[in-house]
Structure 1
Amino acid sequence: MGRWSRGRPITVVVPPGARGGTGLPALIQPQLATLVDRPPKGGDWSYEIKFDGYRVMTRIEGGVATIFTRNGHDWTERMPRLADACNALQVDDAWLDGEAVVLDSSGQPDFNALQNAFDRRSTAEIVMFVFDILWLNGTDLREQPLRARRALLRDLMAEQSSDVIRFSEDFPQDPVSLVASACKMKLEGIIGKRGDAPYRSGRSPDWIKLKCNLRQEFVVGGFTRAKGARSGVHSLLLGVYEKDGSLRYAGSVRPYFSSRDGPAFLKRAEPVLRDSTAFYNPPKPEKERDYLWLDPSLVVECSFLEWTPGGEVRHPIFHAVRDDKPASAISEEPMVAVETDEPVEADTGSTREVPGPKGGLKIGNIRITNPQRVLDEVTGHTKKELAEYYAAIAEWALPYLHNRPLALVRAPDGIKGELFFQKHSERAAIPGIQELPTELHPRHPPLLVANTPEALVGLAQMSVIELHTWNAIAPDLEHPDRIIFDLDPDPALPWAAMLEAAELLKVVLDEIGLRSFPKTSGGKGFHVVVPLTRRQGWSETKAFAHAVAKHMAKVVPQRFSAVLGPKNRVGKIFIDYLRNGRGASTVAAFSVRARSGMGVSMPVSWDELKEVTRGDEWTMSKAVERQRSLTVDPWHGYWQIRQGITATMRRAVGID
């Protein structure tokens, strides 16, 4: 099969049995790999590098390429040099599957450099490693075995060499050795693919991934707590010893101690408190934190994504205090080759997955049953993917969940089945979930809180999709620490009306002296969150929220309604203030929604609000990708806000 209209013919031969297509597909969802803890012993497998970049699907029609992200977003304009290289390929039409990366000086994929390239809008250094071809010159190749597709792709790439588009080679070595080599080279891992399998969109056992596991002990050189607080631990300050015996600061980790472990740690820390730091490169102090320094004698174990160029851990997860190793023996562990008779650890820390009995698997210490059960028929999202998401997002979600009573939405039969609203553990204990003392909520069963990554995975195991939280934190459940305004639009309104409404509410709150923070609801609109110092009770707070809603409806009656009910919001946006009563709850930041598409409630900054295109813009994968790419918290300053409802504020919204 050749291509004559744009230059010399291409001599690649389409495999026998490939079928003619009925038309170039508008979109093809990528095939995804299943994470495993060891390579399969038999079968027709080939192995490739797992590139640390962005997955891209490239559609070429009539010599014009369109580059899509994994989630189907058109990023062609964001990568013009790559698009030009794809346009130059001498094919009539094609679908290519690959990974966009930026290579460092040693030729290794550098994810930080890739993110910086997009941030600077300077993407000329991006290259694409192509590892599959799904369509070529009117022929659908997806039913062909992988080895045939890759032979065709190899020939195509050999005839059209390019520095920008490169063929992803496979390697003949055994996978255990490949993983060891990948880890020593600080790569993410390897991908295994069945050579006799067709291409199948979505997650498939025919593609597997084996990832390097980074986990080790650290010396605790100190800890932080809220400014002026007399107890508690916000974060542990981690260190490792250098070869010359000096202690290097290696980052911080939130421990999320249990009610028992927190006091136990402080009891051990008190005798080794010191006046000055033992780190030769101590962290830069934060104004809102007190720093307590320790003699470097306590040891903890953490997992993490990677070491940064500055020698700190990225995305650490606390696991335990260790007593079996002396602090003096703790240094940055070098990566060593895995012995061929040992299993290969897959993924990092609490998100590590291992196969479980009877078709289940484990994420951290939580066994996930029926992991392939489909929760959303539209996207194909499974229970496994939900659990993976909550494990991955835990670092950012837990501060907004810590000690807040929960209301849960369960979907045991998927989001199209019956949904169950649950505030108590009832008959079944939820792995990792803690119960609050009954005296905090008299005459009711104990309220639930999720304070650890294990709790979030445990909720996913129970098919909990949505996490709703109170506006108060235990043990003080009588004084709310925030007000939430839920902007609920008439479905007929355009999205621009939602953006305008959020901005107008911000203006009013600014004028009366209250700082606010927006987040998408994961559904139709926005939530505007106003943090408070805990001075006011529930009735005062709810009355104030109601007054703000009525004030907005009075000032801009053509835009807002403060009266509940669909008939009262025709062409308008209802400012739902009812979520501010005792026992009422609102979907938490980073919670998934039990709606088609399974969007996520995502914190955003006021500055980026105009870039948001819908209330369910962020999916689970996009939410994790976004959080890992951020350099500044969109809600920067949230935890430092000290504001309350004053008499002047009440008068401003019509309360005498």
Structure 2
Amino acid sequence: MAGRWGNKGKKTTRRAADDLAGAMPSLIEPQLATLVNRPPSDGEWSYEIKFDGYRMLARLDHGAAQLFTRNGHDWSGRMPTLRAALETLPVDDVWLDGEAVVLDAAGLPDFNALQNAFDRRSTSKIILFFFDLLYLNGTDLRDQPLKARRALLAELMGEVHTEALRYSEDFAQDPDSLVASACKMKLEGIIGKRADARYRSGRSADWIKLKCLLRQEFVIGGFSRLRGAKTGIRALLLGVYEPDGSFRFAGTAKQNLRPSQISALEKKAKALVRKASAFYNPPAADKDRDYVWLEPRLVAELSFLEWTPNGEVRHPVFHGMRDDKPAAAVTEEPMVDVENGEPIEAETGSTRVQPGRRGNVTLSGQKISNAERVIDAVTGLKKIDLVRYYDEIAVWALPYLQDRPVSLVRAPNGIQGELFFQKHEERMRIPGITKLPTALHPKHPPLLAVDAHEALVGLAQMNVIELHTWNAVQPDLEHPDRFVLDLDPDPSLSWRMMTEAAELAKVLLDEVGLKSFLKTSGGKGYHIVIPLTRRQGWDEVKAFSQGIARHMARVMPDRFSAVLGPKNRVGKIFIDYLRNGKGASTVAAFSARARSGMGVSMPVAWEELREIKAADQWTIHSAVQRQRSLGEDPWQGYWRCRQGLTAAMRRAIGLK
């Protein structure tokens, strides 16, 4: 009698009531995941590691195994060890979906090692992780829910006795924690799958991916080399195909290949050299470089920080060549929004923003008017970019906003137009905003606080660019819980001088016994934030912060000034202590700035100081990605910090 897995395996499959018996498919197009900006909050989802390898579908037909790439190419002959392992499965006929990887010494996927395995035709160490079961012994399982398919897959893989074939586990932790763990382990990210969904070939929002860094394939349209050189590759010229089939220049990437890889690439490129660029928007000529143009056929995989407004990648890192995907299929991978807890289905050829009538869109349940209106004429950033930023950054920004009076900088006509500074709601009706009791600030309209995600998105919809907060939280607005030193440089100073100034300020604060935390201003300098227990009043705290500024200016008069005014900081850094009085405010952590490029005030660890290159290093396009990629909070310990101003501290800086 046949068993549960069939005659070969001594077992046969349980058939569901709606069993779809029929001929075994000769080829199955894989289901693909959609890149999303944050995890969905609704529905039942399971999450798996996103493997850094090659997508591979496996077919076993009456004991004969085949391995197919995502584009249907038969690679069985390139992986004889895996093919032999597949033929040991205790089934007659099966289709499995998975990822081929090579693991490093730490047990993590190593894409470079996988590429080397194929280049050297030494594929015995490739492992195939299976994450889906599509067909089994006459039953097409693709209409079954994912959780049913994976339950059957787990049972099948439990009877496999080879390390070459493994089951891809799913994890119960919340997706934000999983992404953070994946990034800390230098993995690519995670994949989320709707547990009750059928298998749908092609890209859909039933499968999503959350990445540590943006990563995708690019077509190599040429390379640069030093002017006059006959050999060598200085940088790769990257491209992607537009929906209309035209080939767009997407930036340059320095090659970080080994000599053998450079030689192999040059050999491939030699047969593809062409006289003119295939890009419709080729890079500008460079007096120090020659360009070698290529037929756009070679595909490489790179990670990068963000897309710039002009459609190029920022800070790309080369990972390897790909020959499992045709060049013509390489396009800019769109990122879709998660709205009302659900990812939006992406449409073929669609843009990242789906405008409604009159250019309106809906995001997080709120209607966003004039979403496509440009708010930064220099970079082309649009209102929807700002709204999406505040929507995505809210989880990190809200703890620094809650219960704290906020002042708003609005730009109704874009950041090049007139800016309005606003402390009260006035005639605006802001969804979710908190109006503080008037007793906390008598004889004034109610102060505002941003305590909810809804309020943060609502402010962006109302053209609020910047959020500035007090140094106190309700209900006790008479005793500050921090003070801030704003390092404001003469524009002529180098960034190295700013770095050294921040280091010197930290040394002084350490010496007097105060723990401090650093953030970029998003504009020109740094903000040093010193948390306090709420024992001192405003006058005492402001006097102390002024004492620090004067002490540093007195000790290092060639570097620092404690006197307001451009003429007093020529060639120096003004230590602005004036933000520490009652009612004064400082731009909040994670706030965007109303400056071209729209930098962000970003919390950073002191250990990162030497790596930071500018006060606006992170923008509304890159700040969220940075936060997702962090292993730990740069301001770790901030909320547990308990410190006050003592007589000894005052004496140390020359105060009575």
Coarse TM-score class (shorter-chain normalised): 0.5 to 0.7
Match of 2:575, SS? strand
Partner of residue 298, structure 1 = none
Partner residue, 1:112 = none
Partner of 2:235: 66
Q: Deviations over 1:101-151 (max 9, x none)?
A: xxxxxxxxxxxxxxxxxxxxxxxxxxxxxxxxxxx642344389xxxxxxx
Listed one character per residue, the Cα deviations across residues 383-403 of structure 1 (whole Å, up to 9, x for unaligned) are: 000011111111111111111
Cα-to-partner distance string for 1:222-270 (whole Å, 9 max, x where unaligned): xxxxxxxxxxxxxxxxxxxxxxxxxxxxxxxxxxxxxxxxxxxxxxxxx
Root-mean-square deviation (CA, aligned residues, Å) is 3.7
For 2:254, the aligned partner's letter is T
Q: Could you tell me which of 131, 138, 141 is aligned with 2:276?
A: 138
Q: Distance in 2 between matches of 1:621 and 1:651?
A: 45
Partner of 2:655: 655
Residue number in structure 1 paired with 2:394: 394
Residue 405 of structure 1 corresponds to which residue in structure 2?
Answer: 405
Shift of 1:87: 5.1
Show the counterpart of 1:486: 486
Q: Which residue of 1 aligns with 2:322?
A: 165
5 Å-filtered alignment, 1:609-628, equals 609-628=609-628
Q: 1:192 to 1:154 in 2, by over 3 A?
A: closer
Question: d(CA) in 2 for partners of 1:83 and 1:443?
Answer: 72
Superposed counterparts of 1:312-351, under 5 Å: 344=345
SS, match of residue 471 in structure 1: coil
- Cα 1:431–1:213 change in 2 (3 A) is closer
Task: Quote the Cα distance in structure 2 between the aligned partners of 1:69 and 1:509.
Answer: 47
Aligned to 1:572: 572
Q: How far off is 1:452 after superposition?
A: 1.6
> Structure 1-normalised TM-score?
0.55
Please say if residues 488 and 574 of structure 2, whose CA atoms lie closer than 8 Å, have aligned partners that are also in contact.
Answer: yes
Whole-angstrom CA distance in 2 between matches of 1:537 and 1:78: 56
Aligned partners of 2:577, 2:468: CA distance in 1, in Å?
16
- Shift of the 137–426 alpha-carbon distance from structure 1 to 2, 3 Å rule, reads farther
Deviation of residue 54 (structure 1)? 2.3
1:91 offset after TM fit, Å? 5.5
Q: Would you say the 8 A contact 1:375–1:415 is kept in 2?
A: yes
- Helix, strand or coil at the partner of 2:614: coil
Structure 1 residues 578 and 440, CA, compared in 2 at 3 Å: closer, same or farther? Answer: same
Q: Classify the secondary structure of the residue corresponding to 1:508.
A: helix
Matched, 1:76 2:254: yes
Aligned residues: 399
Closer, same or farther in 2 for the Cα pair 1:512/1:157, shift >3 Å?
Answer: closer
Is the contact made by 1:590 and 1:601 (CA closer than 8 Å) also made in structure 2? Answer: yes
Change (3 A) 1:426 1:78: farther
Aligned to 2:453: 453
Deviation at 1:602, TM superposition (A): 0.7
Return the alpha-carbon distance in structure 1 between the equivalents of residues 409 and 270 of structure 2: 50
CA distance in 2, matches of 1:72, 1:646: 56
Matched, 1:607 2:618: no
Q: Does 1:439 align with 2:424?
A: no
Secondary structure in 2 matching 1:624: helix
Counterparts in 2 of 1:370 and 1:558: CA distance versus 1, 3 Å: same
1:73 & 1:528 partners in 2: Cα distance? 35
Counterpart amino acid of 1:403? D
What is the CA distance between 1:79 and its match in structure 2? 6.9
- For the residue of structure 1 that corresponds to 2:496, the secondary structure is helix
Q: Would the aligned equivalents of 2:299 and 2:326 in 1 still touch at CA under 8 Å?
A: no
State whether residues 211 and 345 of structure 1, in contact with CA within 8 Å, keep that contact through their aligned partners in structure 2: no
1:99-498 equivalent positions in 2, closer than 5 A = 137-142=275-280, 164-166=321-323, 168=325, 344=345, 355-498=355-498
Q: How far did residue 170 of structure 1 move?
A: 10
How far the C-alpha of 1:538 sits from its partner, in A, is 0.5
Q: Which amino acid aligns with 1:90?
A: A
Asked if structure 2 preserves the Cα contact closer than 8 Å seen for 1:68 and 1:76, the reply is no
Query: What secondary structure, in the 3-state scheme, does the structure 1 residue paired with 2:636 have?
Result: coil
Q: Within 2, Cα distance between the matches of 1:139 and 1:170? A: 16
SS of equivalent to 2:604: coil
Deviations 1:436-491 (A, max 9, x none): 11111111111111112211111110111111111011111111110100001111
Write out aligned runs for 1:33-72 (5 A): 52=211, 53-54=214-215, 60-62=223-225, 64=233, 66=235
Question: Do the aligned residues in 2 keep the contact of 1:407 with 1:422 (CA within 8 Å)?
Answer: yes
Give the residue type in structure 1 aligned to 2:369: T
Aligned residue identity for 1:653: I
2:269 alignment counterpart: 90
Q: Distance in 2 between matches of 1:359 and 1:635?
A: 39
Instruction: Note if contact 1:471-1:481 (Cα within 8 Å) is conserved in structure 2.
Output: yes
Does the Cα contact within 8 Å between 2:488 and 2:525 map onto a contact in 1? yes
In 2, the alpha carbon distance for the partners of 1:408 and 1:212 equals 27
Closer, same or farther in 2 for the Cα pair 1:88/1:541, shift >3 Å? farther
Conserved? CA contact 2:355–2:371, under 8 Å: no
CA offset digits 1:1-59 (Å, max 9, x no partner): xxxxxxxxxxxxxxxxxxxxxxxxxxxxxxxxxxxxxxxxxxxxx97998854257666
SS of the residue corresponding to residue 639 of structure 2 reads helix
Which residue does the alignment assign to 2:107?
none
Contact residue 587 and residue 601 of structure 2 kept, 8 A: yes
TM-score (norm 2): 0.55
**Shift, 1:74, TM fit:** 6.8
Segments of structure 1 that go 5 or more residues without pairing to the other structure are 1-45, 95-135, 145-151, 172-190, 194-198, 200-206, 216-302, 306-342, 347-351
Contact 2:407 2:422 in 1 (8 A): yes
Distance across 2 between alignment mates of 1:490 and 1:579: 19
Which residue in 2 is equivalent to 1:281? none
What letter is aligned with 1:468?
Answer: H
Aligned partner of 2:415: which letter? I
Is the 1:465–1:592 contact (alpha carbons within 8 Å) kept by the matching residues of 2?
Answer: yes
Structure 1 residues 157, 546: closer, same or farther in 2, change over 3 A?
closer
Summarize the Cα distance change of 1:79–1:367 in structure 2 as closer, same or farther, 3 Å threshold: farther
Cα gap change, 1:74/1:497 in structure 2, threshold over 3 Å: closer, same or farther? farther
Decide whether the 8 Å contact of 2:502 with 2:526 is kept in 1: yes
Letter of the aligned partner of 2:529 in structure 1?
A: V
CA 1:587–1:139 in 2, change beyond 3 Å: closer, same or farther? Answer: same
> Which amino acid letter does the alignment assign opposite residue 66 of structure 1?
A
Residues 353 and 364, structure 1, Cα contact 8 Å, conserved in 2: no
Over the matched positions of the two proteins, sequence identity in percent amounts to: 53
SS of corresponding position for 1:575:
strand
By how many angstroms is 1:652 displaced?
Answer: 1.1
- Matched-pair contact (CA < 8 Å) for 1:60–1:92: no
Distance 2:496 2:276 in 1: 41
Is the contact made by 1:66 and 1:83 (CA closer than 8 Å) also made in structure 2?
no
Note closer, same or farther for the CA distance 1:653–1:83 as it changes in structure 2 (3 Å cut): farther
Query: Is the contact between residue 560 and residue 572 of structure 2 (CA under 8 Å) also seen in structure 1?
Result: yes
Matched-pair contact (CA < 8 Å) for 2:340–2:364: no
Q: Is the 8 A contact 1:353 1:363 kept in 2?
A: no
CA–CA distance in structure 2, aligned partners of residues 476 and 69 of structure 1: 56
**Structure 1 residues 155 and 547: alpha-carbon distance in aligned structure 2, compared to 1, 3 A threshold:** closer
Partners in 2 of 1:616 and 1:422 — Cα distance? 24
Flag structure 2 segments of 5+ consecutive residues without an equivalent: 1-201, 226-231, 240-248, 283-293, 301-318
In the aligned structure 1, how far is the partner of 2:257 from the partner of 2:600?
27
Q: CA deviation at 1:75?
A: 5.6
| SS across alignment from 1:638 | coil
What is the DSSP-based 3-state SS (H/G/I as helix, E as strand, rest coil) of the residue aligned with 1:90? helix
Q: What residue identity is the alignment partner of 1:571?
A: G
Cα shift at 1:566: 0.6
